[in-house]
Amino acid sequence: TDGTLIFTGTLVCKYCEAPQSNDATLLLEHCKKCLKIPRPDSKYNYVCVFCDYHSYYSSSVRDHLRLHTGEKPFRCPYCEYSSAQKVNLNLHIKIKHVLNHVRITELRCRFCQCGLNSDIESLLTHSKSCTVPYRENPSFQLVCLFCDYHSYNSGHMKNHIRRHIGEKPYKCNICHLETIQKSQMTLHMKIRH
């Protein structure tokens, strides 16, 4: 796997050798209360009973303990995926389900109520050609189909629409960050890599 030690069988505290539950919440109590655990700093209330990991925060140690126990309590309601951390489940749902299925099937123009394709070029074309919205200033040909934003610049409108639909076409091949604008990715590459 990824190098994480997952215990099978009986879990035992490496400091006091007491048998432990496989439940991260119960393990967390022992991490806080075990008198035999050496604490590198008295402020570290939580020390892992299986390795040297420690933290001030119970949530950090609880998430860490799940790496050892293999517990994955956060289950995707749409597929078989489960995760040890809620943040990973939320990311999974956003990437695999919301962007690919839910939002795309619900896109509607707020003016004419027609169903919309999630393709950015189609959305841009409709934002210019929809006949329902009143365009007070003729130079602002592009109207957002989802809010009150309007623009004369197609690049600005594309970036704006991407915020609504969650599209991030620029991807970092080093850390997997995704951005809406190319300039954001360029800045990221300069600062981080």
pTM assigned to the model: 0.45
Identity of residue 117: N
Closest CA to 70 of 113, 22, 28: 22
> Which residues have C-beta within 8 Å of that of residue 155, sequence separation ≥ 6?
none
Give the helix/strand (H/E) hosting 64.
Answer: helix 58-69
**Helix, strand or coil, per DSSP, at residue 48:** coil
Note the pLDDT of residue 106: 63
| 128's tokens | 């210019």
Complete DSSP assignment for 103-135? HHHH-B-TTT--B----HHHHHHHHHH-SSS--
Q: For residue range 6-59, list pLDDT tens digits in order.
A: 445 578 889 999 888 887 888 888 988 888 988 877 777 888 888 888 888 888
Cβ–Cβ < 8 Å for 49, 34: yes
pLDDT of residue 152: 92
Q: In angstroms, how far is CA 178 from the centroid of its own chain? A: 11
Enumerate the β-bridge partners of residue 82: 75
Q: What is the pLDDT of residue 93?
A: 76
Nearest to 17 by CA among 40, 29, 4, 35: 35
Q: What pLDDT shows up at residue 153? A: 94
Q: What is the pLDDT of residue 107?
A: 76
Strand partners, 47: 54
Summarised one tens digit per residue, pLDDT across range 108-150 is 888 888 888 878 899 999 999 999 888 878 788 999 888 888 9
Phi, psi of 64 (to 5 degrees): -65, -45
Exposure on the CB side of residue 67, measured as CA atoms within 13 A: 14
Please give the average per-residue pLDDT across 163-172, as a whole number. Answer: 84
Mean pLDDT over 59-73 rounds to: 85
DSSP 153-186: -HHHHHHHHHHHHT---EE-TTT--EESSHHHHH
